[in-house]
Amino acid sequence: MAKIVTESIGEFYQHYPKVAAIVTARAGEKINAMAAAWHSSISLKPPLYGVSISPKRFTYKLIVESQEFGVNFVPFEFAEVVAAVGGSKGEEVDKFKKFAIAQDKPIRIRVPILTAAYAAYECKVVDDKTYGDHVWVVGEIVAVHFQKEAFTPKQTVDLEQIKPVLYLGAELYSTVDKSRVRLLEREIYGKG
């Protein structure tokens, strides 16, 4: 296949797919949920997690006010809800009521944790910094919620039990196929 080389960057979807997450926030009695594909772990000690959010988003405003957020990882069966919360405005609609999103109680902070999530993080904000048109919000994970059956003994997602939502860009969603997973151990493949 021939490569195209260009300085016209566009939407730059080339780095996708990404696991889609639902970021949740609460300030006072106001709650919201938004879809996010730009998120990542940053550190193990302390356990830090970052999310890239447009400062125009209602979720970002709630996070700034409360200094807390949740990151919820949901199965592919929940993809329509990911798209719905990503395509609607929290200042105009209560997404939890409109899309019938059930919540579990958090244990350390006040943000909603999604009942449908196979894993979720409760995060306290430790930093936020603007990069271009988004803010990189960093939180220390203060509690983890997860379905034990959704993970292998090595704590990786068990693809026999869970099919994570993958965002491909351009409003396309997919998931994974367990038959395509390969174990490539560092001890074998990392030797030079």
pLDDT, tens digit, 9 for 90 and up, residues 102-134: 999 999 999 999 999 999 999 999 999 999 999
Give the domain extent around 65. 16-189
Would you say 71 and 106 are in contact if contact means Cβ atoms under 8 Å apart? no
CATH (domain of 117) = 2.30.110.10
Would you say 96 and 138 are in contact if contact means Cβ atoms under 8 Å apart? no
Q: How confident is the model at residue 26 (pLDDT cuts 50, 70, 90)?
A: very high
Residue 36 in tokens: 């996010």
> What pLDDT does 5 receive?
83
Would you say 89 and 60 are in contact if contact means Cβ atoms under 8 Å apart? no
Cβ burial of 36 (10 Å; 0-12, 13-18, 19+) is buried
Q: Distance between CA atoms of 113 and 94, rounded to whole angstroms?
A: 15
Position 8 in a domain: no
Position 179 in a domain: yes
Position 71 in a domain: yes
- Nearest alpha carbon to residue 46 among 141, 129, 122, 112: 141
Position 29 in a domain: yes
Q: Distance between CA atoms of 181 and 171, rounded to whole angstroms?
A: 25
Position 11 in a domain: no
> What pLDDT does 181 receive?
83
Q: Distance between CA atoms of 76 and 74, rounded to whole angstroms?
A: 7
DSSP assigned state of 3: P
Position 1 in a domain: no
For the chain, report the end-to-end CA distance as a whole number of angstroms.
Answer: 29
Q: Distance between CA atoms of 173 and 82, rounded to whole angstroms?
A: 10
Position 60 in a domain: yes
Domains contained in the chain, number: 1
Q: What is the pLDDT of residues 62-116, one digit of tens each?
A: 999 999 999 999 999 999 999 999 999 999 999 999 999 999 999 999 999 999 9
> What pLDDT does 192 receive?
61
Residue 168 scores a pLDDT above 90: yes
Would you say 159 and 138 are in contact if contact means Cβ atoms under 8 Å apart? no
Position 49 in a domain: yes
